[in-house]
Chain A
């Protein structure tokens, strides 16, 4: 996949990002439980065809940067009862992320 077919990566490791609270119709790979929550970019995994397009037999290009985002479990679950330092890491496509205020 050539660079021209990929959206440039907007975020870097360590950036604070918020997952969009959107609810569009279709095939989505962004779990409900992280929507609207803030996490930190753990790594950029590369750029991949957009699954929301692939699901309808479209090419899914340009490819979207895919990140692993690290969330504190207590951020995702206000009633989390285990360790305060526990984390959940989730793969999220760039078009679901926006920069979070520090």
Chain B
């Protein structure tokens, strides 16, 4: 591959940067600006002063769900190539159905275990 093959990528990068720049410049040039002072810079100009940190701690449930998601998500990786070669394998009577059924069986046992353990219940 030569560098010229990457020209579309460069154009893409240039477009992205250009668009962002154009929008920002446009808003600076044509947008209306009020007077700048401390009160104006608050999130809400009136009402109760907002309190607390901007970043709140996530519940640990998110982590659990995310972990379980990753584990089951990755299995698709093995299913896609399997689908692609399925017909060829069957036509040549190569073993293809049994192994994947066993694989899915293990996954189902895992899912069953997970459900019974209550890992997927949000309210506990």
Chains A and B come from one and the same complex: no
Residues of A within 8 A of B (CB): none
